[in-house]
A and B are shown apart, each in its own frame.
Chain A
C-alpha cells in the first residue's frame, strides 16, 4: 500500500508539473515517433462497401505498439521517485520490449516477467528484450501466461519495493495504475480527434479497438466519451469457443471479482477461482479487464463484442493483402470486427480502427495457422 500511495502522490505532482509533461511530450515526439498517422484504408473500404475506414497507426510507434506511451510516462515517474530498478510483466512481449527500451534509454536495471507459454509463442520479443539489456524471467506457475507473469512481478515488487518501480503495462491493478496508464495513452484519442476532423470535418460514427487489459482501447475511447453519437466498440478475444477456458471474453460469462488488486469483471469458476483463458493472441489472453471498461459496459457507453481466433487470423491476412499492413494478432481482433460491421454502416459514416501493434512478433503463429509456404 505504501508503494501505491507513494506512486499516486508522485503521479499527482507530475501531472501538475509542466516540465514533466514537456519532457514526456518531447520523448514521445522525438524518440517514439508521435504523432502516429490516421490512414484512410481505401481498398478495404471499397471491398466492404460500407463505412469509410480509417486506421490509427499505433503499430508505427517505436517498438511496434502503443505500449511505449505508458512506459515513457512511468519511467519518468520512476526517475522522479529515485528508483534504480524497473520490473514489468508482459503477455505478447510488446510491453516488455517497450519497458526494456525505455530502461536502456534512461539507464534503469530491467527485469521482465513472462509466462513460459508466452515466451514460446512470442520468441521474437523475448530476443528483443534480451538484446536491449533486460533480464527476462520465465514464469512456470499457473497457466504460464500473462496473469502468472503479473503474480510474479507483484511478488518481486513487494519484496524489492524500496528500490524498484513496477511498470504495469495496462489499465489494471490497484489504483493509481488504471487511471495513470489510461492517462498516458489518452494521446491516442486526442490525436485521432484532430486528425479525423482535419480529414473529414466530422467525428466518426464508430471507434473499434481490441481489449486485453484495455489500454489501447481506453486510450482512443477516452477523448470521445462525452460524444454519445460516437459508438465505442471493444473487441475481446473469442478464442476457440464459449466454454470457460476456451476464450478470454470477460463480458461473455465473467462476473465481478477481485484479481491482482482490481475489482472488475473476471472469468472465474463457481468457487471463485480464476479461470484459465485462451486466445491465439497472447496480449488479449487475460481473465480480468480494466475497471473503466467494466463501467463503460455497465453504463452502456461502450459495446463489447468478440472475435474468434480464426476470425482474427483471417483479418490479419485481409489487412495485409488489402492495405499492406500486417497487424498484431491482438489488433487483428479489431480488424475482424470492422470487417463485420462496416458493410452494415452508411457510406457517409466513418469507422476508425485502432491498430494497436504490428504483427512481426506473430510470424511464428501466422505460419503455424496459415498455409502459405
Chain B
C-alpha cells in the first residue's frame, strides 16, 4: 500500500524489534500508531550496527540476546498489518537479508503486508539485484541521503528511491542531539532538485520543537533513538511511555 504523509510533519517512528521482546514491540508499535505515528520502521537487530550510536547498539544487543531474527521481524509486521494500515518499513543491515536470501526476504515481506525496506549499509551503487527484487514485489525502496553526498549521488539516490527519501540530518551515527544542524535544511533543498518524493529527515530528533522545525521544510521526521531510549528507561510500561512521548511530539503538527 502507498505510504502516506497526512500530517506536516508526519512522524516516522523507529523501534528495534525484540527489545525487550517481540510481544512488547508489537504493543509499542500499536501504541505509537494510535498516538500519531504515520509510519513505523521495524528495526531488525544486527551484531555490528556500524551506523548506530550507543542507544540503538544496546537495544540491538538486547534483542539479539533474545534470539530475534529477521524472519520474526517480518512476522511481527504481518501481525501489525492485520490491525493497522499505518506504513510499515523493514529496517535492516544488508547481511541478514543476504543470508536469508534476497528473493525469499522480498516475497515474505510482500506477503506480510510490508510497504517498504531500508537497508542501512547498501549504497545505490551496489543495489542492482535488490532494486529488481523490490520492484518485483512492489516494495518501496528507501535510501539514505547524507549532507556529504555529492549532487551526482543525490540524483542516483532519488532515482532509486520509492516511497520517500531519508535525509540524514548530519554527519554521524544515530543518537539524540540538542540542536538540528543547518545541514538538514540544505540537504533537503538539494534533494528537491532531483525528486518529488516526500522527504523524511532523521538522526537526532527528540523534542517537539525539533519535530515541528522539520515540518517547516520536510514532509516527515524520523524519531529513533529517542523512542528506543524511552523503551530502555521504562521497563514494564513501554507502550504507555512511548504513546505519551509520541503524543507530545506530534501535538503541534
Give A residues with C-beta under 8 Å from B. Answer: 1-3, 5, 141-142, 147, 151, 154-155, 158-162, 255-261, 266, 268, 270-274
Contacts and interface: CB of A to CB of B under 8 A. Distances in A.
A260 B48 contact: yes
Contacts of A255: 99
Nearest to A4: B123
Interface in B111-149: 121, 123, 125, 146, 148-149
Given A151-B50, A158-B171, A162-B171, A272 B98 contact: yes
B100 interface: yes
B50 A154 contact: yes
Contact of A257 (B51, B70, B95, B123): B95
Which 5 pairs of residues, A with B, have the shortest CB-CB distance?
A272-B99, A272-B96, A159-B172, A2-B148, A273-B47
B70 A155 contact: no
Contacts of B61: 141
Contact of A158 (B51, B69, B125): B51
Contacts of B148: 2-3, 161-162
Given A2-B149, A160-B171, A273 B50 contact: no
Contact of B173 (A1, A2, A147, A158): A158
A154 B48 CA distance: 11
B64 interface: yes
Tell me if B's interface is mostly helix, strand, loop or mixed.
Answer: loop
Nearest to B150: A2
Q: Describe A's contact surface by its main secondary structure.
A: mixed
Nearest to B45: A273
Contacts of B93: 258
B47 A142 contact: yes
A274 B47 contact: yes
Given A1-B123, A158-B172, A259 B95 contact: yes
A89 to B, nearest CB: 12
Contacts of B121: 258, 261
Contacts of A160: 171
B211 interface: no
Interface string B34-58: 0000000000001111110100010
- Which of A2, A161, A258, A274 has the most C-beta atoms of chain B within 10 angstroms of its own C-beta? A258
Given A257-B95, A273-B47, A273-B64, A1 B171 contact: no
A273 B100 CA distance: 11
23 contacts: A1-B123, A1-B125, A2-B146, A2-B148, A3-B148, A5-B150, A155-B172, A158-B51, A158-B173, A159-B171, A159-B173, A257-B98, A258-B94, A259-B48, A270-B99, A272-B95, A272-B99, A272-B100, A273-B47, A273-B95, A273-B96, A274-B48, A274-B95
Contacts of B69: 271
A266 B50 contact: no
A63 B69 CA distance: 44
